[in-house]
Amino acid sequence: MPVKDESSDKEKYLDLFLKIGLDERTARNTVANSKVTANLVSVIHEAAVTEGCSRTVGNLLYTVATKYPANALVHRPSLLQYIVSSKIKTTAQLEAGLSFFAATASDDFKLDAFEEACGVGVEVSAEEIEQAVNEVFEENKNLILEKRYRTNVGELLGHVRKRHPWADPKSVKQFVDAKLYDLLGERTAADNEKTSKKKKDKPTEVEVKMVAVVTPEQQSEEELNPFLIFPRPEENFKVHTEVFFSDGSVLRCCNTKELLEKHLYATGGKVLTRFPPEPNGYLHIGHAKAMFIDFGLTKDRAGGCYLRYDDTNPQAEKKEYINHIEEIVHWMGWEPLKITYTSDYFQDLYDLAVELIRRGHAYVDHQTPDEIKEYREKKMNSPWRDRPVAESLKLFDDMRKGLIEEGKATLRMKQDMQSDNYNMYDLIAYRIKFTPHPHAGDKWCIYPSYDYAHCIVDSLENITHSLCTLEFETRRASYYWLLHALGLYQPYVWEYSRLNVTNMVMSKRKLNRLVTDKWVDGWDDPRLMTLAGLRRRGVTSTSINAFVRGVGITRSDNSTINLDRLEYHIREELNKTVPRAMVVLYPLKVVITNLEAGSIIDLDAKKWPEAQSDDASAFYKVPFSNTVYIERSDFRMKDSKDYYGLAPGKSVLLRYAFPIKCTEVILADDKETILEIRAEYDPSKKTKPKGVLHWVAERSPGVDPLRVEVRLFDKLFLSENPAELDDWLADLNPQSKVVISSAYAVHLLKNAVVGDRFQFERLGYFVLDRDSIPEKLVFNRTVTLRDSYSKGGK
């Protein structure tokens, strides 16, 4: 059969999106997202603007395509007519309309109530806007005069919007800008010194950021408690979603009063969720977001979260993965209400499958996988779809008894092969696999599919909120169809965006390829975004949870987060919690010529920047002898104004010690390689050099300092989104792991144990790795000291 030309479809959609006024970047990003593309195309056709519309209307249609509540699709055409006719013409009006229909769901609504909620027909005059702006400026005049052009204009606009929510935003902004100019006049030189002042305040930057983080005025109620968006269990009688069938009928899925009362009686009204990983690999940072939502909601509502292993595929699961998942969930700080397995319910699932057949909603099919694919593409029913119920019951029993060969039969749900949703194309409920199950043993030779088992086990466990990522949104129809067909309790389903991090692949298939083909050193390789890898790299569970909370639990489908943002949260914690130490990665020998050989001066070095002089525990001893080592990169043969390291004839300060001045350079026979530096130290400390270097000294003549191995980890992939590349393995960063086998460290590190973290001064944060032995300690770099996120990174 002919192959569908996806590139031509993309060009067609791109042209359509440009016609409605989307800018080219937004249009191309939309085309790259199949789900948003499908929604937007439907919205454009419903609005009857396939030949184009104004940019304002087009942008509002885009918002509808990305934010419209799924439980009120029946009303979407009404909203679109208001947009196209310019009765709804601002973002504020549209947001009000979306909220109105989210609350209305599929129920009938009163037109006047809708128009009042959205400000339809409300015209705010220029005089009214000007008066509101004057009032806001009068109320905030002293603050504006104090801050001048550093005033938060967004807050002023917000105050005006509270008075006139339906005012034209552009007009409001123009009046505010004009009023600022009238009050303050031209910008002065002082008004433009914002950037330079930030640089001068750099030493106290951390404290400033800490204050900003905890200022309530900077955060909305939802940001302070992201779980406020979820309904209470007793509210779970509303329509969950609407399933539109090809024959024109609509299934409005919701719980009956009896089902909800029975559920609430069983749960005591508590919130119950589940974290349901498939035990076919190690968990990654995306699972950390899932845990934060699943466990976090129940922690917030005093409920409970099941750790449920989705073990329906006996060929992929391993005991190693099961053990890892349980252990890593606890490490992340979460306590499951109970640990369960989908396989615990195999008998219940089988019995319900028999009932589904009896009710005429399932049949035994003999199509091959290729035939199923072809029939789905053509939206054709299987030849066995209408076989008698008794015949399917007999064949399904034969499947269970092992009387039918593997691949010769499946049990399929009788859904809607002509639906616009491909996840309603008679999904497979059971398939034959003559494979023992890691948890259930050899009792079964038929196994349920995810699409069949997942929703039923949610119902059997009385889950109140079934939370999953957005790629499962199109499965929502199948989820509710099946529970409705069986007359089972229906949990509240909500999807959130996946968490992806730049310069990394997150799919288990790709991660498994990296591990099995030995591109990395196992599932806990510190370069991976697996939780085991992050832990081995020295990342804490609390910083991961802080990162996830900061990302939020929105439904935005653009959740690829810059790695800098994760590193920011890691630094924020480690900066406050780990002691400092000095390590030299690439040692260059410096002989102090005016200090007698064998002479040792014991000095105090700070473990913490704010160490108090009367707190002995905040310091460690470092010996200063006539042989010290500095970083090779901290010496140059030619000095320059912007260079603060050591050079011939130049002085630097050795941290916690003395100023030294380079008096001689010993070169190798090639006259280029530097073998040794000769220097004099200033015991009086009268010299005040600008440069400050870290260093390590010999503890006794001729005995090297503590020798350690240091592993420097960097981004695993060169591209921000390697998963999009055809040859993604070719994008691996050859410098993602650099091993320094002979670094020198202060003696403080000698007694470190695996998992101990340190800041190596001027180098970054490091953790002692499990590969360490007493004779050779191994440190992994967690993150560097630089922080691009807080300075404008994303």
Residues with Cβ within 8 Å of 385's Cβ and at least 6 positions away in sequence, in order, are 363, 365, 412, 414, 417, 426
Beta bridge partners of 780: 711, 767
Catalytic residue among 278, 326, 709, 720: 278
First to last CA, the chain: 46
Q: Are 393 and 411 in contact (CB under 8 A)?
A: no
Catalytic residue among 308, 476, 508, 650: 508
Q: Using alpha carbons only, give the angle 132, 137, 142 rounded to the nearest 5 degrees.
A: 160
- Determine phi and psi for 629, rounding to 5 degrees: -125, 135
Token pair of 665 as six digits = 């350079």
CA gap 185, 177 in Å, rounded: 11
**How many CB atoms are located within 10 Å of the residue 646 CB?**
26
How remote is the C-alpha of 349 from its chain's centroid?
A: 34
Residues with Cβ within 8 Å of 785's Cβ and at least 6 positions away in sequence, in order, are 571, 759, 762, 763, 764, 765
Beta bridge partners of 185: none
CA gap 268, 391 in Å, rounded: 42
Tally of CA atoms within 13 A in the half-sphere of 295 that contains its CB: 22
Give catalytic status of residue 278 as yes or no: yes
How remote is the C-alpha of 343 from its chain's centroid?
A: 30
Full DSSP string of 560-626: EE-HHHHHHHHHHHHHHHS-EE-EESSEEEEEETTS-TT--EEEEEESSTT--TT-GGGEEEEEE-S
How remote is the C-alpha of 216 from its chain's centroid?
A: 24
Give catalytic status of residue 148 as yes or no: no
CA gap 456, 355 in Å, rounded: 13
CA gap 740, 464 in Å, rounded: 52
Catalytic residue among 87, 163, 238, 498: 498
Using only C-alpha atoms, the chain has a radius of gyration, in whole angstroms, of 33
CA gap 661, 682 in Å, rounded: 8
CA gap 579, 492 in Å, rounded: 47
Closest by alpha carbon to 61, among 34, 80, 89, 81? Answer: 80
CA gap 127, 557 in Å, rounded: 41
Which residues are identified as catalytic?
278, 498, 508
